Amino acid sequence: MEKNRLEAFSDGVLAIIITIMVLELKVPHSVENPHLAGLADLKDLLPVFFSYVLSFIYVGIYWNNHHHMFHSTRYVTGGILWATLHLLFWLSLFPFTTAWVGANHLAPTPVAVYGCVLLMAAIAYFILQHAIIRQQGPNSLLARAIGADWKGKLSPLCYLAAIPLAFHSVWISDGLFVFVAILWLVPDRRIERLLAKREKP
Amino acid sequence: MEKNRLEAFSDGVLAIIITIMVLELKVPHSVENPHLAGLADLKDLLPVFFSYVLSFIYVGIYWNNHHHMFHSTRYVTGGILWATLHLLFWLSLFPFTTAWVGANHLAPTPVAVYGCVLLMAAIAYFILQHAIIRQQGPNSLLARAIGADWKGKLSPLCYLAAIPLAFHSVWISDGLFVFVAILWLVPDRRIERLLAKREKP
Amino acid sequence: MEKNRLEAFSDGVLAIIITIMVLELKVPHSVENPHLAGLADLKDLLPVFFSYVLSFIYVGIYWNNHHHMFHSTRYVTGGILWATLHLLFWLSLFPFTTAWVGANHLAPTPVAVYGCVLLMAAIAYFILQHAIIRQQGPNSLLARAIGADWKGKLSPLCYLAAIPLAFHSVWISDGLFVFVAILWLVPDRRIERLLAKREKP
Amino acid sequence: MEKNRLEAFSDGVLAIIITIMVLELKVPHSVENPHLAGLADLKDLLPVFFSYVLSFIYVGIYWNNHHHMFHSTRYVTGGILWATLHLLFWLSLFPFTTAWVGANHLAPTPVAVYGCVLLMAAIAYFILQHAIIRQQGPNSLLARAIGADWKGKLSPLCYLAAIPLAFHSVWISDGLFVFVAILWLVPDRRIERLLAKREKP
């Protein structure tokens, strides 16, 4: 039951994060003539829209992974609870960095800061994963499920590279962010398969 | 349990979408004399109010249908999860399109964009429905429940017609949006009846 | 289970309504010197604060009553679902009316509109109550619990009186709103008592 | 079940409070040249960021303690319900005070008001704790778990001291707020230990 409440709270926070990001899509107000509101107004919103799409996918991936991770967890300790809050803290900065990148999509600093927050969230996820594995003891279901965890190791390296590269070309950094998102979107059935195995012995 | 968490997350996102739309009802500040705040200020808000009412009903319909759809579902696969997030993505744009239509209710572009988002949400719903039916296998409860699904097929056609028609007359498009909403508001007992049948064999 | 999901959705919407109202407490920015931010800035916020407190209590009362009402309900029909959404719609206007009254607390129109929304919410609650009683059949637990329902009948009358009286004196209307809130805050153990009776026969 | 719904509602409100605070991290818009958005813009946000971090931790602590407190509770009375809403009310003011301190971090009044809201929340928590203990009767699990409750008694004293001290030096008050947060972050296994004991007799 404890676990359920932590899941519910995380779901609530993630649901709010994913939704308030859309508030940055400010309604364009055509100054001269409201009847002329048109596609030109929308075009200005395109960078904000694309950064919204990317961040939406990232939050979706985190929700999905968090979901799988807790599926293999039974009890929640104080350490796991604070590790979850730590992860939620960095995810809660997504609306800010998303909006900043959207408003200044060619400036290197916002893109680098976006990468920093992604990096911190990845580190927080890593800490949470290890807090759960430590609590589950050796032969932990989660430990076996993630295996070598190459995705979990490659992603922070990509973010780490994207931060200085933003000052060279923001497009390289953007490309790295999209690459990592696609990496995780490709279904990862490791945990699902292991759970399935265990259930039909 | 997996299903419950997806339902809870969807409920959270839908609850936030339906509620933050009201933030677009900006409090009018009478510049000259605050004691004169009056009905004239409210009149300016009428278009925003009506677009809020319409979008509230649409989100309510989606929540209702989503609710019924998942009632007939047991397990959630990765595909169903991402199909749900895809639907939530398009629904999350409702606050933006609602506010834009409200602020420029006679301009064709916002009305056409409103129709586009409705169309994309309908397509996302269709994809989700098929992901669930595919998972349930032949003789799927949901497949039998929706039957010919004429509502699900007529709605996107109406949205598709409303998009170009907005440039002719926004009132025709608005009429189509209201028509589809009424279509779904009329109670649809298909799934309820089938579930009832199954429970008392 | 159906009932649980409607409760969860309502809880989500009510939690958001009660929380976003606080966004109207805009942070005062001392234009001249930020080091002089002081109590004078807070004084300007007092009307907004008081309207926030009142609306917070109203949403709390609705949540509490909704909670009790659904406690005596087992199944949720389409009618009950839409009656709940109808109630949530009027409650979702609270942040707007609260902010408008707060910004123009001496102007009669905002106070009258505040009363209108309270009245509509009370009517929506009444409709929901009857939808549940109708579904529960004669000898409904809820029907016996509410009895003559004098509070439920007196409240809309007070709101109805407060609307025109606001144009006479906003203080009378404000007084009526506070009076009704106190009426409901005084613990109402009708349903609790009946449930207790039933459980220990 | 009643208890579950109160937990769910509290979780919803706390999830929203913890998340909407981030909306105060306003995206800086470089007026002259959007390509020059840089670290200088971020530096201006540092005070807002630090007050956000502190408030995030405070809400996390309240959520955590609320969680433990209700773990040892079975039934929810009207008194407990309103004591919870009272606590949520004061916590709902966190986004406002956090933003005000962030915007005027050297001004004494916002810091003192921040302390007042912390004090009121601590008092509300104390009232809630006693409402639960009263309902549980003598030998209450919660009463034994909290014991002398020196943390619960020291915290309001620190807030009380921080309020007038802010007019002397805001840094002393800030230090007290950070001190209390650290006090609670250090894991408090009192309730956990007692529950563990009871479960394995």
Distance of alpha carbon C97 from alpha carbon C48, whole angstroms: 11
Can you give the pLDDT at residue C13? Answer: 94
Which tokens sit at C152?
A: 């439920």
The secondary structure element, H or E, covering residue C89 is: helix C78-92
* Bigger pLDDT: C164 vs D1: C164
Lowest mean pLDDT among A130-144, B26-40, D138-152: B26-40
With an 8 Å Cβ cutoff, are D93 and C25 in contact?
yes
Task: Quick: pLDDT tens for C42-82.
Answer: 887 888 899 999 999 999 999 988 888 887 777 788 888 89
Tell me how close the Cα of A99 comes to any Cα of chain D, in angstroms.
7
Q: Is the dihedral of CA C127, C133, C136, C142 positive or negative?
A: positive
Tell me how close the Cα of C170 comes to any Cα of chain B, in angstroms.
11
**Using N-to-C axis directions, what is the helix angle for C39-71 and D78-92, rounded to 10°?**
150
Residues in B closer than 8 angstroms to A192, CB to CB, are: 78
Distance of alpha carbon C95 from alpha carbon B27, whole angstroms: 10
Is A156 part of the contact surface with chain D (CB cutoff 8 Å)?
no
Q: Which residues contact C146 (CB under 8 A, 6 or more apart)?
A: C129, C152, C190, C191
The band of A187, judged by pLDDT with boundaries at 50, 70 and 90, is low
- The residue-averaged pLDDT of A38-55 equals 86
Helix, strand or coil for residue C30? coil
| C-alpha A51: how far from chain center | 13
The band of C23, judged by pLDDT with boundaries at 50, 70 and 90, is confident
Distance of alpha carbon B119 from alpha carbon B125, whole angstroms: 10
A98 in Cβ contact with A113 (< 8 Å): no
The band of C201, judged by pLDDT with boundaries at 50, 70 and 90, is very low
Q: Give one word for A93, left, alpha or beta, with left for phi > 0 and alpha for psi -120 to 50.
A: alpha
Residues in D closer than 8 angstroms to A96, CB to CB, are: 22, 25, 27
The band of B193, judged by pLDDT with boundaries at 50, 70 and 90, is low
Tell me how close the Cα of B90 comes to any Cα of chain A, in angstroms.
10
A98 in Cβ contact with A52 (< 8 Å): yes
The band of A155, judged by pLDDT with boundaries at 50, 70 and 90, is very high
Distance of alpha carbon A147 from alpha carbon B176, whole angstroms: 53
* Closest C-chain CA to D83: C60
* Bigger pLDDT: C5 vs B114: B114
What percent of chain C clears pLDDT 70, i.e. is strictly above it?
Answer: 86
- The residue-averaged pLDDT of B29-56 equals 77
Is B46 part of the contact surface with chain A (CB cutoff 8 Å)?
no
Distance of alpha carbon B167 from alpha carbon C196, whole angstroms: 62
With an 8 Å Cβ cutoff, are A14 and B16 in contact?
no
- The residue-averaged pLDDT of B73-99 equals 90
pLDDT at A198 over 70: no
pLDDT at D195 over 60: no
* Bigger pLDDT: B37 vs B38: B38
Task: Quick: pLDDT tens for C167-182.
Answer: 999 999 999 999 999 8
In order, the DSSP letters of B76-129 are --HHHHHHHHHHHHHHHTHHHHHHHHHHTTT-HHHHHHHHHHHHHHHHHHHHHH
Task: Quick: pLDDT tens for D101-116.
Answer: 888 877 888 999 999 9
The band of D52, judged by pLDDT with boundaries at 50, 70 and 90, is very high
* Closest A-chain CA to D185: A82
Tell me how close the Cα of C200 comes to any Cα of chain B, in angstroms.
31
Could you tell me which of A71, A200, A59 has the C-alpha nearest to residue A146? A71
A87 in Cβ contact with A132 (< 8 Å): no
pLDDT at C200 over 70: no
Is C67 part of the contact surface with chain D (CB cutoff 8 Å)?
yes
Which tokens sit at C58?
A: 């109203």
Can you give the pLDDT at residue C97? Answer: 92
pLDDT at B201 over 50: no
* Closest C-chain CA to D102: C27
Can you give the pLDDT at residue C196? Answer: 60
Chains that touch C (3 or more CB pairs under 8 A): B, D
CB crowding D15-41: b at 16 or more within 10 Å, else e: bbbbbbbbbbbebbebeeeeeebbeeb
Helix, strand or coil for residue A171? helix
Helix, strand or coil for residue C122? helix
Burial of A32 (0-12, 13-18, 19+ CB in 10 A): exposed
* Bigger pLDDT: A126 vs A152: A126
C148 in Cβ contact with C133 (< 8 Å): no
Chain D interface mutation, best of A24, A77, A92, highest count of D Cβ atoms under 10 Å: A92
Distance of alpha carbon D50 from alpha carbon D53, whole angstroms: 5
Tell me how close the Cα of B137 comes to any Cα of chain C, in angstroms.
24
Backbone Cα Rg of chain C: 19
Tell me how close the Cα of B167 comes to any Cα of chain C, in angstroms.
31
* Bigger pLDDT: B201 vs C196: C196
The band of A172, judged by pLDDT with boundaries at 50, 70 and 90, is very high
Amino acid at site C65:
N
What is the 3-class SS of chain D, one letter each residue? CHHHHHHHHHHHHHHHHHHHHHHHCCCCCCCCCHHHCCHHHHHHHHHHHHHHHHHHHHHHHHHHHHHHHHHCCCCCCHHHHHHHHHHHHHHHCHHHHHHHHHHCCCCHHHHHHHHHHHHHHHHHHHHHHHHHHHHHCCCCHHHHHHCCCHHHHHHHHHHHHHHHHCCCCHHHHHHHHHHHHHHHHCCCCHHHHHHHHHHCC
Residues in B closer than 8 angstroms to C93, CB to CB, are: 22, 25
Mean pLDDT of chain C, nearest integer: 84
Is B99 part of the contact surface with chain A (CB cutoff 8 Å)?
yes
D160 in Cβ contact with D119 (< 8 Å): yes
pLDDT at B106 over 70: yes
Distance of alpha carbon B165 from alpha carbon B144, whole angstroms: 35
pTM: 0.88
With an 8 Å Cβ cutoff, are A17 and D19 in contact?
yes
Lowest mean pLDDT among A45-54, B35-44, D63-72, D149-158: B35-44
A121 in Cβ contact with A92 (< 8 Å): no
Can you give the pLDDT at residue B43? Answer: 81
Can you give the pLDDT at residue B189? Answer: 60
Can you give the pLDDT at residue A201? Answer: 45
Is A5 part of the contact surface with chain B (CB cutoff 8 Å)?
no
Q: Which of C20, C82, C104 sits opposite B30 (nearest CB)?
A: C104
Distance of alpha carbon D89 from alpha carbon B99, whole angstroms: 29
Is A77 part of the contact surface with chain B (CB cutoff 8 Å)?
no
- The residue-averaged pLDDT of D168-182 equals 93
Q: Which residues contact C192 (CB under 8 A, 6 or more apart)?
A: C68, D78
* Closest C-chain CA to B45: C96
* Closest B-chain CA to C18: B19
With an 8 Å Cβ cutoff, are A100 and D27 in contact?
yes
- Which among A71-80, A120-129, B22-31 has the top mean pLDDT? A120-129
* Bigger pLDDT: A29 vs D128: D128
